[in-house]
Structure formats: C-alpha cells, structure tokens
Amino acid sequence: MDKIYLNKMSFYGYHGLFPEENKLGQRFIVDLVLEVDLQKAGESDDMNDSINYGTIFQVTQEVVEGKSRNLVEAVANDIADKLFSTFAKLSACTVKVYKPDPPIPGHYESVAIEIRRERVR
C-alpha cells in the first residue's frame, strides 16, 4: 500500500494524569503514516485523488489541542478515529504521539506511544 507521511508535527495540549498537566499544558509531537492507494493521484496529478496534507494537519491539531485526555493512548486513538471519519480513501494509519516533557524524573528525549489502525469494511 502507498503511504503518506507527516513527521514531527508539533502541538500544545492539556493531556495527562496530573492536574498540573491539565492546567499548564505541554508540547506533543505527532508522526503519522497514512496508507492509501495513490496510483490514481500519481496518474491524474489531481488533488481530489489523494488526501490533502493541510487537512491532515488540521484534523490532528483539532484532536491534540482539543479535549483534555488522561492518556496519550487516548489522544492517538482519537486522531486515528478522526482521520478515518474524515478521509474515506484512508485504508490504515499509524499514529505516534511523543510527550517530550512528561513529569517523570530522569534523563531521556521523550516518551511515546504508537498505534496502528485499519479501516473495518
């Protein structure tokens, strides 16, 4: 299957188990891999045969910067659900959500979760 990648999209959200995370917020980084048949788009050179990258960004932004969630797992799942409901051409997606500054003692670049979902037909 063909793939569209959007890497290291940065947003500010209010997700986490601790009250200060919900009040102060923090950065979230999102990577997406969207599986979609792009053959027709490649042949036609017409955006209607693909998925608009700007719209993908907006959909992801609405989820991450929207309703507060306790877990980044829920954020990732909501992103996948919203992508499927927005893009009929989407066959599957991988969503990776990074939390660069979680309230965990220690030295590390980030924590992250990754999910993969397929459209149920």
83 three-state secondary structure: helix
CB 29 within 8 A of CB 8: yes
Active site annotation includes 99: yes
Q: Which residue has the tokens 């979902």?
A: 117
Question: How do strand 111-118 and strand 3-13 relate by DSSP bridges?
Answer: unpaired
CB 11 within 8 A of CB 72: no
Query: Residue 12 carries which DSSP code?
Result: E
Catalytic residues: 99
